[in-house]
Amino acid sequence: MVIKAIGKYKWLVAAALATMLLQVGTTLWQPSYMKNILSVMADMSLSTNGKIDRISGYGVGLLIVAVVGLIGSVLNTLAAAKIAQAVSADLREQTFRKIQTFSYEDIEKFKAENLVVRMTNDVNQVQMLLMMVFQVLIRVPLLFVGAFILSIMTMPRLWWIIIVMVVLIVLVTAVSMGRMGPHFAAFQSLMDKINGIAKDNLRGARVVKSFVQEANQAAQFDAASDTLNGHNLAVGYTFSTMIPAFTIISQLAIFGAILLVANFVTESASVAQDQLGGIMSFIQYMMQIMFAIIMGGMMSMFASRGFVSIGRIQEVLNTETAMTYDTDAVEDLGGDVEFDHVSFAYPNDEHPTLQDISFKLAPGEMVGVVGATGAGKSTLAQLIPRLFDPTEGRVLVGGRDLRHVSQATLRQTVAMVLQKAILFSGTISGNLKQGKPDATAADMDRAANIAQAAEFIDRLPERYEAPVEERGNNFSGGQKQRMSITRGVIGAPKVLILDDSTSALDARSEKLVQDAFNRELKGTTTIIIAQKISSVVHADKILVLEAGRLVAMGTHRELVESSPVYQEIYNTQKAKEA
């Protein structure tokens, strides 16, 4: 996934690698100049002027190498930043597009807050990983190998000091990584949990305030936050012991090297000159080796979070959606609806929500669906626009099994208005055009009049360009519901499903909406999921559900006479009204 995404930017990758090699080369080259300078200073055969001339030449060369290395470092940072930003933007877009293809079942499996974290925090972790890869992780092994070889070439007699230092630093790094690994693995799941608590609290702010649950919400958030803080502190404590340990090891190695060189210089003048010139380079190479190991260890630990995030993003991108469509061909479907021995159970639910339901609806019929709470009314409605597929049986629209209908055709044929009116931030017209992208002002006027939304839209100075805040918070519940109905009818669907979508309307507005449906949607098959029988009393046909089964079907008059379940619901509601 990430390799493929990086492949789009091969020229930037080449630039990053080239500048990294330049940076490593200049870093490894600098100690040789220091060796030459010290060797000149220790050379007793040269005059003072000769020493100054040579040292000046080496100094200029050292300055040029340092400047070239600095330029390489700047260019490498720019190239790495561009790669990281571009790839992370691509991954974020791919993940969002993939989520758009998910069915209800897929989203329920991942959970909304989890998907948000994967698109934001996990992508940011991948971005940081890419920065480290092109700035540090590739440079570290090159620097380590180069410094190791050059240090031994500089002072072959002290090779064993390098080996001992490397072994000790690697052991400290391995132990530290082993302690910190589990803490890094827990970070992302805790981020999911914290994000979920914050989302629930903000979405349900009115409930929290109404029931004085601020302290309880704060306690839940604090508990999750404290757990995350504990993991961060554990990592911090480990780091606090790592750095001093590395420092002690390196200083002991330097002390040992200087002590041994002090013994070597007593052997002869030529040996003394060579050893005094090489000790500074040797120490610098030791520091580079230590730096490479420390940076490699630290970056590897941080990179582990990036690799976890790559796996989480990969899981989303590789998910085979639970619902696929056979073809993209545009078909013309009729408005008849049929359930053929349909049963349905939600994932991980042992008991089916719907059991062996069969019925046929003719085009243009107005059909009511009633039943007690939990009878399966909304589930039945969600099968018609194929938000879920039935566990058994078939759902047909226009005589075609929905499994063999293209998505575009189904969305053009079937529209659904939910009980909970969900509006997106933007404008009224932007929300209405979700039902018909090419809707004109005339289309919006017609639909708004049917849904009785024109009553308040016409009072707004901007009318359809009036702003809609997040989740439509600048409109009342009834207004949001009427706009939701407007969005459902604007595309003139052949099948319209109203899932208790007039529950927030007053009796007058609900009556006006029903009259408009009878008048304007005569050719539309209208399925009304209702809690109140008064909402469906004039329907051509009423379906009665009980415990997921279709127990009766007929007109209001027929059901009042023949269905005990319908009679009980009807009499209960009459008693409440009385």
* DSSP code string of 128-197: HHHHHIIIIITHHHHHHHHHHHHHHHH-GGGHHHHHHHHHHHHHHHHHHHHHHHHHHHHHHHHHHHHHHH
What's the confidence (pLDDT) of residue 265?
57
The distance in angstroms from the start CA to the end CA of the chain is 65
**353 and 516 Cβ atoms separated by less than 8 Å:** no
CB atoms within 10 A of CB 436: 19
Radius of gyration for the alpha carbons in the chain, expressed in angstroms and rounded: 36
Cα distances from 407 to residues 127, 323, 378, 474, 488, in angstroms, run: 35, 11, 21, 33, 17
Locus of tokens 């989740």: 471
Element (H, E) at 58: helix 48-100
Q: What percent of the chain shows pLDDT beyond 70? A: 89
Is the alpha carbon torsion for 560, 561, 563, 564 positive or negative? positive
Q: How far apart are CA 84 and CA 92, in angstroms?
A: 12
Reading the block at residue 24, the tokens are 């490593």
Is 274 a residue whose pLDDT tops 60? no
Q: How far apart are CA 513 and CA 451, in angstroms?
A: 6
Domain 337-577 fold: Rossmann fold (3.40.50)
What's the confidence (pLDDT) of residue 578?
45
Reading the block at residue 32, the tokens are 């040789």
Element (H, E) at 25: helix 10-42
The mean pLDDT value for 357-364 works out to: 89
Mean pLDDT value across the chain:
80
Amino acid identity, residue 70? L
**194 and 225 Cβ atoms separated by less than 8 Å:** yes
Q: What percent of the chain shows pLDDT beyond 90? A: 0
449-486 confidence digits (pLDDT tens)? 888 888 888 888 888 888 888 777 778 878 888 888 88
Reading the block at residue 410, the tokens are 């189904």
**9 and 87 Cβ atoms separated by less than 8 Å:** yes
60-94 confidence digits (pLDDT tens)? 777 888 888 888 888 988 888 888 888 888 888 88
Q: How far apart are CA 55 and CA 391, in angstroms?
A: 85
Reading the block at residue 470, the tokens are 């997040």
Taking the C-alpha atoms of 228, 233, 236 and 241 in order, what is their torsion angle to the nearest 10 degrees?
-140
The region of weakest confidence among 21-35, 196-210, 258-272, 420-434 is: 258-272
The mean pLDDT value for 5-22 works out to: 83
**Nearest alpha carbon to residue 285 among 164, 162, 137:** 162
**385 and 371 Cβ atoms separated by less than 8 Å:** no
Residues forming beta bridges with residue 368, ordered by sequence position: 528, 542
**Nearest alpha carbon to residue 285 among 170, 137, 149:** 149
Q: Count the alpha carbons within 13 Å of 188 in the hemisphere toward its beta carbon.
A: 28
Domain residue extents for the chain: 2-317, 337-577
**152 and 162 Cβ atoms separated by less than 8 Å:** yes
Confidence of residue 3 (pLDDT cuts 50, 70, 90): confident
CB atoms within 10 A of CB 384: 22
Domain 2-317 fold: ABC transporter transmembrane region fold (1.20.1560)
Q: In angstroms, how far is CA 576 from the centroid of its own chain? A: 48
What's the confidence (pLDDT) of residue 278?
67
294-348 confidence digits (pLDDT tens)? 777 667 666 777 787 888 888 888 887 777 777 665 577 888 888 988 898 887 7
Of residues 354 and 113, which shows the higher confidence score? Answer: 354
Q: How far apart are CA 32 and CA 150, in angstroms?
A: 9
**Nearest alpha carbon to residue 108 among 377, 389, 322:** 322
* Strands 366-371 vs 525-529: parallel, antiparallel or unpaired: parallel
Provide φ and ψ at 553, rounded to 5°: -155, 135
Q: How far apart are CA 317 and CA 323, in angstroms?
A: 15
Structure letter (DSSP) for residue 120 = I
pTM above 0.85, yes or no: no
Q: Count the alpha carbons within 13 Å of 452 in the hemisphere toward its beta carbon.
A: 18
102-143 confidence digits (pLDDT tens)? 877 777 777 777 788 888 888 888 888 888 888 877 788 888
Q: How far apart are CA 57 and CA 491, in angstroms?
A: 81
Provide φ and ψ at 361, rounded to 5°: -120, 130
Is 243 a residue whose pLDDT tops 50? yes
Structure letter (DSSP) for residue 525 = E
Residues forming beta bridges with residue 370, ordered by sequence position: 544
**353 and 373 Cβ atoms separated by less than 8 Å:** no
Q: How far apart are CA 553 and CA 544, in angstroms?
A: 6
Is 363 a residue whose pLDDT tops 70? yes
Which residues lie closer than 8 Å to 556 by C-beta, 6 or more apart?
A: 533, 536, 537, 538, 539, 542
